[in-house]
Structures are given as structure tokens and as C-alpha cells.
Structure 1
Amino acid sequence: MKSPLHNCKRLCVILPSWIGDTVMATPALRALRTHLPNTHITLLGRAGLRTILSGLPIFDECVEHRMRGWLGPLSNLKPIRAINADAMLLFPNSMRSAVIAFASGARTRIGWNRQNRGWFLSHPATPPFMTTPYSSVDNYCDLTELALGAPIRDRSVQLHCSVEELATGFRLLDGLPMPRVILNPGANRLDKRWSTANFAALAIALRDTCGAGVAVTGSADERDIVDAIVSASNGAAISLIERDVTLAGLKGAIAQADLLITNDTGPRHIAAGLNTPCVSLFGPTDHRFTTLHETPSANNSEVAREWLLIADPFLPKEVIANHVAQIARMDRISVGDVTHAATQLLNAKLR
């Protein structure tokens, strides 16, 4: 049986909206390039995603378009139709993405049949029945397997840093003593954030226990959080916002850092894609939705690159942390536990 993408000359992939989800789509994108070497692959997504994926040899062009709201992408279909795609592959599960694909003029439109959107898809795929959380990495890969008619065995995430991004990252971290640790205290929800007091105490502990140079990063909207941590750190941390950090520069900085410590948000996935060790803090979001498959290390070391700290690690597997927010609170993760995890990962890297 031929795959839906058999003889496809121009493929358009609609990317997820969030940075982390886009990073988790890289194994599926890599498989598309491997199995469709002569197909022109266009990625369609919101502003900023091109920066995340730049330098990867897995696509031919990336079209950035306003994707928020119903009228956002539909208010100007000209650049979408100009892609002239034979086929559309939809990673988001939204009705909006199905309408975009239908309006694009592509004859082949492949996506999971969720939210009753099968009417807009030429190949609506039946989503797997799951009783426990299902990683977005596997969600995108499983859909792509159906589109290609071939298995995807390598499901490790991957990113690339350009020379310019590395140079910018070097300037951001300039002057920090080794080992260099980046703290990322932001998140898109308040209940996903570890407290500023804890991050400040962590910065002090890392300086005092291992002489680390600590930098705190965040978006412009998170300046108050970053400033509060730096102010309370007694000189143990600097602000990357004050050094004009950008998304491209953050990529370069994370690539050269010895460790990232972060809430459950985009920089965690950037670190995974760049093989930077990471301590990830999880509260009322179940870590199983974003399980990341690690690539084998260059020296075949068994040391993991990511250390997960979960607010309630003893929840039964049938209980989803998202549904028990009062139990899975971020304040249940102690500064001591994060310091221990950070020290272990730093020591493993130095060995």
C-alpha cells in the first residue's frame, strides 16, 4: 500500500505553536527528510520558530505566519497558498490547523482526527487510545510514520547552533567563572514556576558549593522575575536580559553552558536538542507528556543529560499530575534537591 506522501513534490508541515513542541517535532521532521530526499519541504509556523530550527538540514524553507486565533492565519491566505503544497502534514491537533490546510488548496491533508476535524482532512488518522500521558515526540513521530508508511526509530530531538549564535552566546556568558549555569525561572503559567526566592537561594548555593558562574535568563515580560532573583542572590547571579539576550543568543548560550536549570518550558527542550545537561522542575504538568529520548553520548557514557525533579514523584502512574495541581505544587521541590541534582550533573560532565 502506497503512503499518502508517495510522489509528493511539495510538502508543507504545520508546526506546533510552542518552542518546546517544535523541538519535539524534530525527530519526525528528520524522518521526513530522510524518506523524502527529493521533496521540497516547507515548514509553516509562528514567528520565532525559524530561529529555533535554523541550521538543521531537514527542511527547505520556513514560512512564518500569524497563527493565533481563527482570523490570524485566515486573514491572509496568500503566503500559505503561495507554498503551492501537494500535501499538508498537521502536527497541531487544532481545528484551526485543519481549516488552514483545507484552505491552502493541498489535495493531501494528513492529521490526527481530533475535535471532529476529519471533514477537513483527506487522510484523517485515528489517534491511539492512551490511558496514560503520551509524549508529544511520539505523537508527532507516530503520525509521520503513518504518512510515510515507514517506522521512525531514532526519536531523539536535535538542534543546531550557527557560528553567529555561538558568538552571541559567548558574549552573553563572558566573564562568568566555570562551571557556567543558566537559570530559567519563567513559564507560561504561574503554577509552573518555582519561586524567585528558591532560584536566588539556588544561585547562592551553586556559587558557594562549586564556584559556579550563574546567569538568569527570561523574556522581556519576565524582567521583574529575573531582576528579583539577581537582586536577592547577593551577587551570585547576573541577568542575561541586561545583556540583551535574544532567542538566537539564548540558543548559543545554552549550547556553551555547563548546565541549565529550568521550569517546564521551551529552554528545557533547547538544552535537550543541543545536548546540554539540564535539571528540569515539574509541578502540575505531567512530565510524561514531554518525555525526551536522549541520543547516545559520544563516549557511550550511561550518565543521563537530564535530571527530572517532580513535585510528587510517588503519584500512581494512572494519576496525571495536571489533574492534581494541589498535590503537584512546585513548592514541594526543595532547594537542596535541586542543588544536589545540579552538582551531580556538573560532576558527571567534568569527569
Structure 2
Amino acid sequence: MGNKVIVSNRLDGAVLAILPKFIGDAINTLPALALLKQLYPTQRICVLVRPHLTEIFSRASEYGLEVISDDRHCRSKHRGLYGMASQLKHQNFALAVLFRGSLTDAVLARLAGIKNVIGYAQNARRPFLSHAFKLNQCHHYIYRYCKLVNDAHGRPFTHFDTPKLTAQPSTLALSKAQCNIALYLGGKVKGTRYYPQHLAVQVVQHISTIKNINIFLLGDQSEQSDMTSLTSLAQSKGITLHNLAGSMSLAELVDNIGAMDAVISIDSGPMHIAAACGVPCVAIVGHGTSPWSLVAPKTENLIALTHKSTSLNEVDLIQDVSPEKVFQALSTLLCQPPH
């Protein structure tokens, strides 16, 4: 698009990356951030993230990132656009990479006095970008993020590494003699991605047949009631579940997922965390917020179960993935035959 190539060793100042607001999307920027670190090994690489995401990056220390909380989205110490721009302006940023398609983020970078601003030319923000690129909607999210960095710098890279998170020891009382499985099936707040309770309990029943099994339920505070209900339903069938929903910070979620033998998850943050921690994962894919091909984790030990439904009701789609298929996939990952 006629952009002048950025020569990294001629840039004097820190680098700012403005990250997406969702867990999975933020994790998927890690390969692009690794490319930035290679380009600017001696300079500060800062990530501007929503306050609730800061803990994720405490488990990404190998990337050498400095985390800045985006206080435009903090209730306790809210900053407006100009206040946030003023805070950033004092940090001598020479380059900003916009990993979100937000017009406001482009304006923020300019108000912060950042001369070089890289981003996709969408949402009327081209005038605020020094290096504007055309977005190919068919590209995987990781590829989109890496391509922004690579193209702006003259394409010095030919490959990228997959996202990596390093879990700390879990505080859960886990035994190596047991098989520990975490389930994140979402709550009703997940809409069309939610795996309904009548199917979820069947998954639990299948898994409970595994010898020396421990089953943990994951979820946030908005999903506590759904997970409590599922726990009670399982107990009525003589199955014990460890309900962790709403009791963990994001850092603890990473640590607990990292301690599991396998995870079963809908298309959401815990699935991306499992992939980044190298934990085997069964993904139950219904109608998501993005096409599956654009967000699928790039890992070998993940089995994605996509629907084949012909229903015109989007809520029905995920129900095409049967509990039997979920258990068969889990058995494959655990290298043991299904019952």
C-alpha cells in the first residue's frame, strides 16, 4: 500500500502494542509480540491491555513484555481518552502496533504523540495510521497479527511460533496417580457457544467411568449458577465434581489448566489457555463469534469437534456434537479406549 518500510535499528524509543479485549485474542497476539521482541531486543515492548487481562501476561514472562493497564476500562481509576493519551505520551513511544480494529485506539496512539502507527485500514481510521494495511478477512487471527508486524518491517520473518503460556504450580490438591480433567462448557451467558446442561451431564457421566478420575468445572462469576446446577445434577447421579467456577483469578486459571491431564472446552478463552500451556484439549465448536478457521489453536494435541447440523436455529448447532463424540475424542487424547 505504498508504506515506507520501518527499519527497527533506526527507531529510538519504546514500542507499544494495543491488544484486543478478549482472552483468546490477546493470547493469539503473543507470536506477533515475539516478532517485535526480535526486531527490538534492547527496547521496551509494552502491551496496553484491559485491566482484567493483565494477569494473563504474568504467565507470559518469557516474552519480556511490560504490561500497562488500559485504565479507560477501569472502574476504580477510570481515565478518559485524553487522560490515557497523556499517560502514554510521557513514555517516549516511537512505534505503536494496533492489534484491534478500533478507531478510538488509532486516535489514542496519535494523541499520545506516537509517530509510527501500524494497523489495518478499517473503521475509518486510515488517516490516523502511518502504516495502513488492507485486512484479509480470511486470514487466521495469529497470521493477521504477525503480518502487521512483518509487513511493516519489510517482511524479515518467514515463520512464527505458536503462543506459549507458562503455568505456575497449581494450588489444587492434585495427585499424579489420578487423571485430572477440566471442563469449561460455558454458561447461558455464552449464548450459541454454550453446551447445554442436559448434554454436559452426559459428558460428565462418560468421563466418570475413567479410573481414578478427578473432574473440575471451570467458569467465571457469571457462570457460577450454571456450574452449581451441573454439580448438583451430577451429584444426584453419584458423580463428584469439583466446582471452581468464579473462584479463580486469570493467573490461577492458567495455573490450574496447566496442571490438568486434559481439558474439554467450548470455543473460548480456556481453550486458548490450554493450547498455549500445551495441555491436550477437546474443543466443542458450535456457532462462535468468529469462524472456527480463523481462531482454531495451532497445536497438535487438540481435537476440534465441529457441528454438521442443518438447523437454521444457531442455538441448536452445538448440540450436534454428541457427548459420545466428546468422550471418544478425550479417550483418544488420553490414549485409552472409550468404554
Relative to the length of structure 2, the TM-score reads 0.86
User: Which of 26, 41, 46 is the equivalent residue of 1:42?
Assistant: 46
Q: 2:286 aligns with which of 263, 270, 283?
A: 283
Provide the residue aligned with 2:226 in structure 1.
225
Return the match for 1:335 from 323, 330, 335: 323
Q: How far did residue 247 of structure 1 move?
A: 1.3
Contact 2:195-2:319 within 8 A present in 1 as well: yes
**Which of 111-120 and 171-180 deviates more?**
171-180
Deviation at 1:176, TM superposition (A): 9.3
Distance 1:222 1:210, change over 3 A: same
Matches within 5 A, 1:111-122: 111-122=119-130
Whether contact under 8 Å (2:32, 2:160) holds in the other structure is no
* 1:152, distance to aligned residue in structure 2 (A): 4.5
Alpha-carbon shift at residue 325 of structure 1 (Å): 5.6
Q: Supply the distance in 2 between the matched residues of 1:230 and 1:327 (Cα, whole angstroms).
A: 23
Residue 57 of structure 1: which of 55, 62, 74 is its match?
Answer: 62
Structure 2 gap segments, 5+ residues each: none
> Is 2:262–2:334's contact at 8 Å kept on the other side of the alignment?
yes
Corresponding residue for 2:262?
A: 259
Alpha-carbon separation, structure 2, partners of 1:262 and 1:311 = 15
Where 1:228 maps in the other structure, the secondary structure is helix
Q: Is the 8 A contact 1:260 1:278 kept in 2?
A: yes
1:195-235 per-position Cα deviation (integer Å, ceiling 9, x unaligned): 12222221221111444210001111110111011111123
CA distance in 1, matches of 2:41, 2:120: 24
Q: In structure 2, what is the Cα distance between the partners aligned to 1:95 and 1:227?
A: 40
Runs of 5+ unmatched residues, structure 1: 295-303, 316-320
Other-structure match for 1:179: 179
Deviations 1:317-342 (CA, angstroms, capped at 9, x unpaired): xxxx9xx6639711111110001111
Residue 127, structure 1, aligned to residue 132, structure 2: no
Q: CA deviation at 1:160?
A: 1.7
Task: Give the match for residue 310 of structure 1.
Answer: 306
Q: Give the whole-Å Cα distance in 2 for the aligned partners of 1:57 and 1:174.
A: 26
Give 1:249 shift.
Answer: 1.2
Distance change (3 Å), C-alpha of 1:185 and 1:177: farther
Q: TM-score, normalised by structure 1?
A: 0.84
Q: How many residues align?
A: 320
Q: What is the identity, as a one-letter code, of the residue corresponding to 2:216?
A: A
Q: What do residues 238-273 of structure 1 show as CA deviations (whole Å, max 9, x unaligned)?
A: 10137x322111111111100111111101111111
SS at match of 1:16: coil
- Aligned partner of 1:24 in structure 2 is 28
Overall identity of the aligned pairs, in %: 22
Residue 2 (structure 1) shift: 4.2
Per-residue displacement from partner, 1:271-304 (whole Å, max 9, x unpaired)? 111100001111112211203223xxxxxxxxx3
Does the alignment pair 1:137 with 2:142?
Answer: yes
Aligned counterpart, 1:159: 165
Distance in 2 (CA, whole Å) between partners of 1:248 and 1:72 is 25
- 1:176/1:311 CA distance change after superposition, 3 Å: farther
Contact map agreement 1:185 1:226 (CA 8 A) in 2: no
Q: CA deviation at 1:28?
A: 0.6
Counterpart CA distance in 2 for 1:207 and 1:83 is 54
